[in-house]
Amino acid sequence: MPGNVVRFIAGSTLVLTAACGGTTAAETGKPVVDAAFFPLQWLAEKVGGPDVTVEGLTKPGVEPHDLELTPQQVAGVAKASLVVYVKGVQPAVDEAVAQHAGDRGFDAATAVPTLEAVHSEEEEAHGHEEEVAYDPHLWLDPSRMATLATALGGRLAEADPAHGAAYKERAKQTAAALTTLDAEFAKGLETCASRTIVTAHTAFGYLANRYKLEQVGIGGIDPDAEPSPARLAEAARIAKEKKVTTIFTEELVSPKVAEVLASEVGAKTAVLNPLESPPQGGDYISGMTANLTELRTALGCQ
């Protein structure tokens, strides 16, 4: 499942070379942040504020895992002074950073505690378990996002000291909003009839870990990996045993398998958004709040 690129020279000196792809600081008069996908784009916009120009590498509605960078986007990464991304979500971004950004990369997974990846048999059969040893979907835990906000504010301040105080202040405000969201999740999911969620793919490990839920993924960490009949049978067994009433689908993944499973176990379906793309008419906080509402309904929370 994303990465960000902040293109500028440390201090107040801006890049003066012509653009080979993407926007340059010379064109805007301020640092440019290329966000690999939605959650990091939202974070960069909140923390960077009016002192940066933010560009998204992944268009809304596009599955981030499937992103292929254009030559112009790769050229933009090559001009970056700071690349903020989550290694293991988008191979194309990982490769561009490794080849062109060098020590200018800021892997968000290095700024927060990560969880061990639990790969499906299908992923192991295709060697996907060797890509990263951790679950990369860390943005689905608001408390980790708060930590990332603070870290991003610090990195922006290092690279652009002239606006350092403003970056840190916006980071503080963003972290506070995310901490409030974290508290709302904790309270909202504190007392529920069930604590088992069955999801289209195992994107919600951080959310489940944070709020003491049990996640059962129909697919593995990779949303493109087709579940085997054995995995479907196991998911159905657990759903029946735990009396699961809702099978969660996603906006960017076909709901067909989840719908078949729901029919088999006598459950309904609902959307639990992994927020790999912006929610319609909303932002990260509104999208997560909508997820909380869906979870409370599905789990019978008081």
Q: Which residues of the chain have pLDDT under 50?
A: 1-20, 123, 126-130
Residue extent(s) of CATH 3.40.50.1980 domains in the chain: 3-184, 186-299
pLDDT at 24: 65
Q: Which of 83, 31, 81, 25 is nearest to 57 (CA)?
A: 83
pLDDT of residue 279: 92
Q: Which two tokens stand for residue 17?
A: 């070379």
pLDDT recorded at residue 129: 44
- pLDDT for position 22: 61
Alpha carbon 33 to its chain's center: 17
Q: What is residue 125's predicted lDDT score, i.e. its pLDDT?
A: 52
Q: Of 81, 99, 112, whose CA–CA distance to 10 is shortest?
A: 81
The domain made up of 3-184 has a fold known as Rossmann fold (3.40.50)
**Under CATH, which number does the domain 186-299 receive?**
3.40.50.1980
Residue 24 tokens read as 């340059």
Residue 166, by phi and psi: left (phi above 0), alpha (psi -120 to 50) or beta? alpha
Strand order in the sheet with 53-56: 53-56, 32-35, 3-7, 82-85, 105-107
8 Å CB contact between 139 and 86? yes
pLDDT attached to residue 130: 46
Q: What is the pLDDT of residue 120?
A: 54
Structure tokens at 179: 């901490």
Look at the block and give the residue holding tokens 């972290």.
Answer: 175
Q: What pLDDT, on a 0 to 100 scale, did the predictor assign at position 19?
A: 34
Give the pLDDT confidence score for residue 16 in this predicted structure.
Answer: 26
Helix (H, G, I), strand (E, B) or coil at 196: strand
* 32 contacts: CB under 8 Å, gap ≥ 6: 5, 6, 7, 8, 22, 23, 24, 25, 52, 53, 54, 55
Single out the residue of 223, 182, 183 nearest to residue 202, CA to CA: 223
CA distances for 268 relative to 74, 185, 248, 252, 273, angstroms: 43, 23, 9, 19, 16
